[in-house]
A and B are shown apart, each in its own frame.
Chain A
């Protein structure tokens, strides 16, 4: 089995963060990124001992850390394990993980450590049952994550490249499998153009990745809700100053207003939006459209509901729109008489909090919930770019297959060698978007080309 790594403490919390590496190359990988003060190497010290030193990424120090060594089979997973304890917080732990993965580890899958522990005889049968449940639960939440990623730039870009490469791969395949049919000529230059375009796009995508960007750049957060549900008040409350025009006339906020606030450990890029309602006012219509666009391009949605009003058609539409993306439902105006069907909201949205923005009641609870959501490992801080190590891993593997294809072309290798790298790239892109590889190329051949006896 390969050597895998993951952050094994809850993310986004303070204190200590632990990055765990497990597998036969754990020690050599640790030595690549960690230099101890005593100049000792991880691979040379005995099990159950620790080293103090610094974690490096690209020759720069990321953090001070303590490294603990567990030699197989005396470890949690039964394999060689290294635990790197560094300063907690999303930024540092993700940077350390990123360094570990660059040094040769693969990102651990859902429940991977527990699975390995079980497979290596470190657990009994009843424990194993719960492991399976964990894996299945995690893969379900990963599937949900994949769903909303479909709206993002990453999905669209990788889809574009996949289509481009699929077209070429199908053409090459038809050309190889039907040599005597009059398949249109495929030129070397069109293949190399496709490779170069794909490389360029993937390189750009890869450069958007930064393990610490959540902390550095913040999470795009949108506040939505019916007109006059209190969006602007809430925003001003979180931001701590007046920004949008706050009146009690419904529909006063027409533009998307931006502000940046620090909620606990995380930075939120707040956008206030026009309220969602059916309207004949042209300007307002644009505002509503903008709001829906925002919902799908942001990382977090704060949906505001008015406690004193019954749920209407627009509220229902909003609930439906956000139930599969990271969101928190905020039920405002608890100071007024309750007419809201809050059961319906609780049934559809996982995180619900009751506040009174006017009286500043329960605002801390709201902040805690936001921290909780953004701190989980399934949280994708922005649907637009590469957000986690698994995505980065898939993109860089796709890239290296493309470079192989490019290299083969430049060397003047035959097309069969190139098609193999093409197919590999497509497989990695499918992995990235969570689709299963299948007969894609073969299907495309018959769709695009008139071949056969």
Chain B
């Protein structure tokens, strides 16, 4: 292993390849394009395939199609493209097709500021596609973690047959930091194994949280649809077939919190205030906390790496430990809504910046005085 200086976007691309991603479809958009450029260069070297599609709708469709054909797949985009992907992101949820969608957040709404940082798509990642649905969103705080969480995103996506959103931001995506890359052959990869013979295989069996997925062209000829479907995959409107599906799919993530919910809780006995943050802003929060602790002030620090599903229990515990939670974000208050929801009567102080610039340590320190 050797140290390299690398952008977050490059680390994401390499993390994908390490995780076994062998198909990438995308459409150029700042500040995510480096992911596509690295994938275009690296994928053919490992026998993988890259295609630049006509738009983000098609990109999202193509990665689902490729995964149906048996290749682990990914796309990367930013706000405007992420909006276009919502349609087929919902399809991947409904048809339970694993795939990874990287959103390098930039300032919105609309075209906004392409080169400016933001965390404005947190709620879109949760609810961007229509209808009630489960979703996983992970948010790295460093270049090195961008690699690790991309690997994690692939494995969770496969294990739970769900799209996983790697919700990063322009700061992490474009920042260069030292990273030590592991030997890719040693990286853990989740693979589906179908043991049922084709005659009895049920791609959407409700007898288990996540039925194994068979790829097309391997003897399992089944139907995949975005309509509500029965256990075999055929469209249905029968309540006795729809309801077990709803129950299984909407609780498959909740039932596996230890696997999915990633966070770091750094408690100091006697602290009365906690800071909860994620993504690039978590770096600022750490900076502020170190300054406070150096002055002898006690403060708890909570860093969320999994944003969705929201780590409710851990945040409840955090709320129990202090009187107040400060939530800095590069938006007008999005994850703060979730913190407020689970924090009970604890005071939640929002620290917001939505002009393309990072929250500063001083802004967090000032919130301590509020």
Are A and B a genuine interacting pair, yes or no? no
